[in-house]
Amino acid sequence: MTDFLQDNENRFGQAKKDFQNMTEHKENNEPLPCSKEAIEQAQKDDQMDEQQEHADNYKADQESKAHEHDRAVAFLGSMRGRFIMAQALHYAIEALDSVEGVHKEVSNIDDMKYIRDELFNFPVQIPQTQ
């Protein structure tokens, strides 16, 4: 039991000295003396904090991207989204079809027509230009 009391008394005495030392340095606007190990540990802690912050930001970013992806898919499935796709396919087919010769992408045009006809079969009303 005496060893226990002696050990606690020693710790209390060291804590009291440490507190007085901190107070003196604070009053003199001096940095606190630190051991090399304490500095290295603080640097490791800072690195761990930065890594955790990076991981948290990455996770939030991924969740945000997933949310936006879900919104875009929902929009694509809406009447307006399907109309926009029909219109985009119409203009893309028209532009690709205007190409002459060997540069005409016939298979792409056929695939776009298939997608338009099977998934986005809206009549696209194109204003006539004069």
Find the domain containing 97 and state its range.
79-130
Ordered per-residue pLDDT tens for the chain, 130 residues? 567 666 666 666 766 676 666 666 566 666 666 677 777 777 888 888 888 888 888 888 888 889 899 999 999 999 999 989 999 999 999 999 999 999 999 999 999 999 999 988 877 666 665 5
Instruction: Return the structure tokens found at 58.
Output: 């990455």
Task: Tell me: do 123 and 88 sit in the same domain.
Answer: yes
- CB contact at 8 A, 96 and 112: yes
pLDDT of residue 124: 65
pLDDT of residue 39: 75
Write down the pTM of the prediction.
Answer: 0.51
Task: Tell me: do 129 and 85 sit in the same domain.
Answer: yes
Residue 121 inside a domain? The answer is: yes
H or E stretch at 35: none
Task: Tell me: do 86 and 127 sit in the same domain.
Answer: yes
What is the total count of domains within the chain? 2
Task: Tell me: do 95 and 61 sit in the same domain.
Answer: no
Residues 6+ apart with CB under 8 A from 104: 96, 97
Q: Which of the listed residues 77, 95, 120 is the one where a domain comes to its end? A: 77
How far is it, in rounded angstroms, from Cα 47 to Cα 49?
Answer: 5
Task: Tell me: do 105 and 120 sit in the same domain.
Answer: yes
Task: Tell me: do 85 and 130 sit in the same domain.
Answer: yes
Task: Tell me: do 112 and 102 sit in the same domain.
Answer: yes
